[in-house]
Structure formats: structure tokens, C-alpha cells
Structure 1
């Protein structure tokens, strides 16, 4: 293995970990050069199992023994068979990185995967057949919520997740961390690249694929989540809106259903991540 000792975060070889912003890592102008950071052994394990390609590792010396098997797997998965440099630095220096104490001493820079079209993604999902239950995230901007939704989607048999152009990046560090690496287990892609692609074109594409769309929103004409008509739909896309404002009026008007979760004690709604878990449990195969 290629172990490289570093003494300071000022080392230019650590730019991906210490200086590049999330926008710079994503590299929208050249997506094939984009990078994301996986944090902790469990997340890295799920990323490798999902076919992600490691570019480098940053870790503290005390984790070298515990991570030995993982480091072997990382070397085997290197880009084009090349050695993956493993940068080893002192704990007191690496802890200057935001959240490093939460990563159990190891970070891995990985190549961003090429995103498939929604049509290709939904044709064959993790059940081996076409997707039947899909989550659509409209403009959700909190990375914690996005990570939590992915974790629920993985646990509760959602076939795929689609994110709209204004939704935050599921490969943002915090989103990946909160998801516990399930962003690498649940098939996902963006439903359009430009803000003008949603909701009009995006919903049209879902309808063309045979999906009925269900806007999760409070409305006078909404149906209860337990309505048997929803469960009977062969293909159903559950659309969740941004924190605070929820779904746009245009999205609600264009969807086939407006769906509410029945509430008690005067509570009007749930946090979007909690609401998604409830909806997944009710409407996805189990």
C-alpha cells in the first residue's frame, strides 16, 4: 500500500479534504472529474459495495490496524488499477477538519458516479425489475433531511429516489453521513438539470413511464395516506416538498393525488424526513 505521511492540512495533496468547497468537489462543468468524500468505515464499505471508485484516503495512525481490511479493498478498487494514496496525519491536526471526530478516523475521496437518466434508472432497480415505488424530492435544501430520507428509503423498500434540480446534493458530506451510506444502496438520479425542468417536464416524464404521482401536502381535496386506492396503484411516485413551504402549488395541481398523513392533537404536519418514513412504511412493499 502507498502510505504517505503528512504533517499539516496545508499540504496541497489534501485539498479535496481541507480546502475545496462542495461546489468545487462536485465540478458541474466537468462532472467526470467530480469528487465526493465518504466518512467512516461503514460508509466507505457501502460506497465500495455500490461500485464507487476511491481516489485517496486520509486517516490517523491509530486506525491503521482496524482499517487494514478496508484499505486492502480500497486498493483493489483503485481507478484504473492504480495505487490509492493513503495519507496518514496526526490526530490533532486532522481534527481541525469540521466533523472529523465523527468519522472514526478515516475519510475517503471518491470519484462521483455518472448519473443515469431517470428513464434508464427506473427501468431496472434493485428488485431486478422496473421501479414501482419512487420518492421524488422537490427542492429539499437541508442535507440532514435528504440523508434521513435516503436511509428510510433503503430500509422501507423504496425502489429509487429522484431529486429535482433545486434539491441539495445527496453526495454532500453531511447527507452521506446521515444516510449511513445508504445513498450508495438506493438507486437515484436527478430529474432534470435546469430549474425549468421541474415540475412540468419532470412530472410529464414520470407520467410517460406509467407512474401516478402523489403530492404529499395539506389540501382540502387530499386523500388519506391509508386510502386503498393509493396502495393499489401499480406505479406510484411520492413527491415531497421543501422544508417550510412544502410543495409548489403547480406541483400539487399537476400530480394525480394530493395525500395527507392523518394527524392528532392539533399537529398539522411532520418534518419531511419523518413524513417520508411514514409514507414509505404505508405504501411500499414489506
Structure 2
């Protein structure tokens, strides 16, 4: 069990993982490079832990201590308690849910491994909006997709906004990068899949006719 400690200085180095969360370019460069991502909200934190991600630290406002008591009891990482104003000063936005956790990333599997035994996969190309990416992962989980494959220029599924919008579905649906693009699509074909592209064009065929 980690004993929660109160932090009163927004420049405290113990809070470094949570600084500047609104700076998308900073997070895009820093989080993958340092092997971390931020889980926001009680449900997302619990789902990340349940999916086997290791916690680096947790940042809570006082009112969430009781709600997260069982998580704290199991944690082997520091738990920092701050007031809401300090949380906003550190992260750069109002932390509505009052609970953040810095988590360690897992190595990404290769696409061929994910395709083994899979029946349906979603392939995403050039999707750079984190909100849309999170929504697609949530839909992929609801539709029973076995995996999601991303082109190299797609947004990071573990970016805070994508994780939040997906309600943790990014932890439940396996994903990998297809690189180089588009040549790596041959990996999908070699696994026995037929590639279908979605488009709103009037000349497109209805899926039931295929």
C-alpha cells in the first residue's frame, strides 16, 4: 500500500508526468518516448489496471481518496494528493473527475501476431483526431472487432483524450501499427482477409451486396 502524500507546489518534480496535458504536440512526443500515458477518471484507471498496465503514480483531489481507497491499498506507486486549483495549475485544465494516473505502456504487438486467429479487424488510415480515434475504439469493442490496425500517421490510442472518449476500450481491443504504409496492408491480405474501404461516395456498394 502506498501512503498518500499531499503536494502543494505545482513545480514539484513528483508531478512531472502530469504537466502540460493540454499541449498535444508535447504529449505526442513525450508520452511514447518516455513509455507512459495518462489515465483520467476512476473507471478508466480501474480498466487500465485490470488490463495489466502498471501504475507509475496517481494524482487525486482529496474527495477521491475514499472512492479510490481499494486502488490505493493495492498500489505500489506513489499517490499524490492535491487541491483542485493546484491540479489545474499542473495539468493546464480543470480536472473534472479529480483522479489521474500515470501508467506504463506495454510493447506493441506486430500486426501479423494480432491477425492470427482474428476474424474481423478495423484498419484506420490517417486518423489524427484523438476524440474520433477514441470513439472508433469504443465502437470496435461494441461490434466485437478482434483488433484495430493503424497507419503510422494515426493518432496515439493512449493519448489522454482518446483513452477518455473510448471509456477504456483502447485497453480491451488489441491494436498494432501497419508500417510501412500502405505496403504493410499485404500483411492483412496474407492473413486471409479481404480489405473493404468505407466511403460515403454515391458509387460505393452496400455491404450487404458484397
User: Is 1:24 the equivalent of 2:30?
Assistant: yes
CA distance in 1, matches of 2:131, 2:84: 26
CA distance in 2, matches of 1:17, 1:91: 14
User: How does the TM-score come out when normalised to structure 2?
Assistant: 0.91
Residue 160 of structure 2 aligns with which residue?
A: 173
Instruction: Measure, in 2, the Cα distance between the counterparts of 1:164 and 1:138.
Output: 5
For 1:2, the equivalent position in structure 2 comes to 3
Question: Which deviates the most, 141-150 or 63-72?
Answer: 63-72
User: Structure 2: how far apart are the matches of 1:37 and 1:164?
Assistant: 22
TM-score (norm 1): 0.68
- Does the 8 A contact of 2:138 with 2:170 survive in 1? yes
Is residue 2:140 matched to residue 1:109? no
Point out which structure has higher relative CO (alpha carbons under 8 A, 6+ apart). 2
Match of 1:203 in 2: 185
- Mapped pair 1:88 → 2:70: no
Question: What's the CA shift string for 1:56-107, capped at 9, x where partnerless?
Answer: 001111110111012234x1xxxxxxx30001111221123244433x2110
| Structure 2: tracts of 5 or more residues without a match | none
Aligned equivalents of 1:2, 1:120: Cα separation in 2? 40
Instruction: Count the aligned residue pairs.
Output: 203
- Give the distance between the partners of 1:19 and 1:158, measured in 2 at CA: 34
Shift of 1:165: 0.2
185, 200, 204: which is aligned to 1:222? 204
Q: Which runs of 4+ in 1 moved over 3 A?
A: 218-221
Q: Does the 8 A contact of 2:36 with 2:105 survive in 1? A: yes
| 8 Å contact kept, 2:19–2:92 | no
Where do 5+ consecutive residues of structure 1 fail to align?
Answer: 28-32, 76-82, 124-129, 230-286
Deviations 1:239-267 (A, max 9, x none): xxxxxxxxxxxxxxxxxxxxxxxxxxxxx
Name the counterpart of 1:51.
52
Aligned to 1:279: none
Q: Distance in 2 between matches of 1:34 and 1:62?
A: 29
Superposition RMSD in Å: 1.6
Partners of 2:88 and 2:111 in 1: how far apart? 39
Cα distance in 2, alignment partners of residues 121 and 2 from structure 1: 39
Matches within 5 A, 1:237-256: none
